[in-house]
Structure 1
Amino acid sequence: MTLNAIIANFQTFKLVDLLDIIIISFLIYQLLGIVNRTRAGQLFKGALLVMAVYLVAETLNMRTVTWLLNSLLQVGLLTLVVLFQPEIRRALERMGQTDQWAAKLFNVKGRYNDPSLKGAWRSAIIAICDAAERFSETKTGALIVLERHTNLSEIVRTGTPVNSAVNLEVLGTIFYEGTPLHDGAAIIENGRIKAAGCVLPLSNNLDLGKDMGTRHRACLGIAENSDAIAIVVSEETGIISMAKNGVLIRHFDRQTLYTRLVDEMIPKETTTEKTTVSGWRGQLDRLWKWVSQKEDDAQ
């Protein structure tokens, strides 16, 4: 009977059912990715524990516990929205990033991974790594944000427009302790300094160590609310750290920072892209030969 039911379900299986399964699988995958990358994992485990206790209480007919958990679950959805607000906001922002979806579905280049900007990004990364190394040696506090898919125009408006090439001298001037802009963040867009002295959202992560202050919370905060890469240098310890996807990674040196930023910010030409380019060149060569042959025949 069970086998016949399975066969009957497959006989009525339609293309829309496959699309339904793909969408649900994608949403679950994205949810698990958000949970694994952020502090939402602890909250998610707590919610699962509450659900498990509720099922046990319902099975054993524990009326008091069931009533209490029923009362709690009535406002559970609103509570989850409040608790997961940063993660939900970040997920919705990424869903709305049309250039990111176009890049994945139609192989269209986004704003930060445009191959024409490779040179600008490589020069900017070298300057950023040189500056981070010097700031680490002199224990100069610094906070640098590299914009990717998420538009940071709201953050840029909180600072002072700069619109300058990224080099060691400019970054050194921005974060020199005596300048008005040294307490804020410098925003790098398309390999250029867009603004400096910008105010970033602060993270509420309670796991940050006591040796990490407002700069580190701002560094982690922008990584929690966008897909930007943020680099921070501690003025107390000189430690270089980097934040991505709501995770703060510490103790970088110049070489490891350079390698990581190149991997994150400079797109690599895939085999498919190489094949596509070669195919187009071959077709153009054949077309050119055909046109030349027709001209020779006409003469």
Structure 2
Amino acid sequence: MTLNSIVANFQTFKLVDLLDILIIAFLIYQLLGFVNRTRAGQLAKGALIVMAVYLVANILNMRTVTWLLNSLLQVGLLTLVVLFQPEIRRALERMGQTDQWAYRFFNKNRYNDTSLKGAWRSAIIAICDAAERFSETKTGALIVLERNTNLSEIVRTGTPVNSAVNLEVLGTIFYEGTPLHDGAAIIENGRIKAAGCVLPLSNNLDLGKDMGTRHRACLGIAENSDAIAIVVSEETGIISMAKNGVLMRHFDRQTLYTRLVDEMIPKETASEKSAAEGWKARGKRLLNWVNNKEEDEQQ
């Protein structure tokens, strides 16, 4: 491509072309991030290796290898759809969560609501206290904290509770003698929405043999939604947390509390702080004006 053709392309460049490039770049970025967060990453690497081998074989005129790979690539799209079927389904389900996209579009998060911050902070303290108690007594527990992704379908699989989150209620739910202890407790807006809920199980083959169905359910809900899931092992008492399809282990009470506060109660941004300070300053000026007005009238 000559310099003149490059200049000619820039001369015909329009705003819609820039929008076209940005959309493609965004889709590629989202695709790479999706592949990196799931087990589809290994399949994607294998597909890239096959493509590289095909290019090398084509350049070196290796007829047999080229014919074999060419036959394979002809049905490659259908093969990829079959291989990536679970991941494609999860991606479409998450895209279908309209409330999550709306919050992202308007750059808002419902947990920034001041009325919910206190409820979430109290709930987090109770959850951490309960997790520490469960760890000491080796009581199995599974707690899911709903964020932007709607978990109403998961809630319908359990028993409605609609209770405040406290140590006593969580202890009763996960007591081995109760009918709800094998399921998950769903926390919504700082309250226990339901208990005994059935969660989707993860197909991750990298989970250790010491982690059973409860850990697979904890990881499964984190793979299928943006929820935070906490699990306590009844064999080892280890506290683990799952987020975005990743299971993190060996939490104690303090590290769990710090992590949950960071995830569920976002800190105010600089613009929010400046806006709050501005309103406080206006309120003080108004109060001073009222006080001065009253003093003038008394005199």
Tell me the TM-score normalized by structure 2.
0.89
CA distance in 1, matches of 2:84, 2:251: 30
CA distance in 1, matches of 2:100, 2:279: 25
1:188-212 Cα deviation digits (max 9, x unpaired)? 1111111111111111111000100
CA distance in 2, matches of 1:220, 1:130: 22
In structure 1, the residue matched to 2:192 is 193
Contact 2:94 2:224 in 1 (8 A): no
* Aligned partner letter, 1:244: K
**Is the partner of 2:143 in helix, strand or coil?**
strand
Contact 2:202 2:217 in 1 (8 A): yes
Contact 1:89 1:225 in 2 (8 A): no
Contact 1:113 1:265 in 2 (8 A): no
CA distance in 2, matches of 1:124, 1:90: 29
* Aligned partner letter, 1:233: V
Moved more, 55-64 or 132-141: 55-64
In structure 1, the residue matched to 2:118 is 119
- Flag the 1:79–1:214 CA change in 2: closer, same or farther, 3 A: same
CA distance in 2, matches of 1:17, 1:28: 17
**Is the partner of 1:145 in helix, strand or coil?**
strand
* Aligned partner letter, 2:164: A
Q: Deviation of residue 260 (structure 1)?
A: 0.5
Contact 2:215 2:231 in 1 (8 A): yes
Q: Deviation of residue 278 (structure 1)?
A: 4.9
In structure 1, the residue matched to 2:218 is 219
In structure 1, the residue matched to 2:265 is 266
CA distance in 1, matches of 2:148, 2:154: 14
CA distance in 1, matches of 2:75, 2:112: 43
CA distance in 1, matches of 2:181, 2:37: 30
- Flag the 1:11–1:285 CA change in 2: closer, same or farther, 3 A: farther
* Aligned partner letter, 1:23: I
In structure 2, the residue matched to 1:85 is 85
In structure 2, the residue matched to 1:42 is 42
**Is the partner of 1:269 in helix, strand or coil?**
coil
In structure 1, the residue matched to 2:297 is none
In structure 1, the residue matched to 2:33 is 33
In structure 1, the residue matched to 2:242 is 243
* Matching of residues 41-120 of structure 1 within 5 Å: 41-110=41-110, 112-120=111-119
**Is the partner of 1:212 in helix, strand or coil?**
coil
CA RMSD of aligned residues (A): 2.3
**Is the partner of 1:180 in helix, strand or coil?**
coil
Q: Deviation of residue 281 (structure 1)?
A: 6.9
CA distance in 1, matches of 2:141, 2:203: 20
Stretches of structure 2 lacking an aligned partner (at least 5 in a row): 294-299
- Flag the 1:285–1:6 CA change in 2: closer, same or farther, 3 A: farther
Q: Deviation of residue 107 (structure 1)?
A: 3.1
CA distance in 2, matches of 1:99, 1:25: 24
CA distance in 2, matches of 1:17, 1:149: 33
**Number of residues of Structure 1 aligned to a counterpart in Structure 2:** 289
**Is the partner of 1:90 in helix, strand or coil?**
helix
CA distance in 2, matches of 1:49, 1:186: 43
In structure 2, the residue matched to 1:203 is 202
Moved more, 48-57 or 231-240: 48-57
CA distance in 1, matches of 2:42, 2:133: 38
Q: Deviation of residue 91 (structure 1)?
A: 2.7
In structure 2, the residue matched to 1:163 is 162
Contact 2:100 2:149 in 1 (8 A): no
Contact 1:165 1:191 in 2 (8 A): yes
In structure 1, the residue matched to 2:296 is none
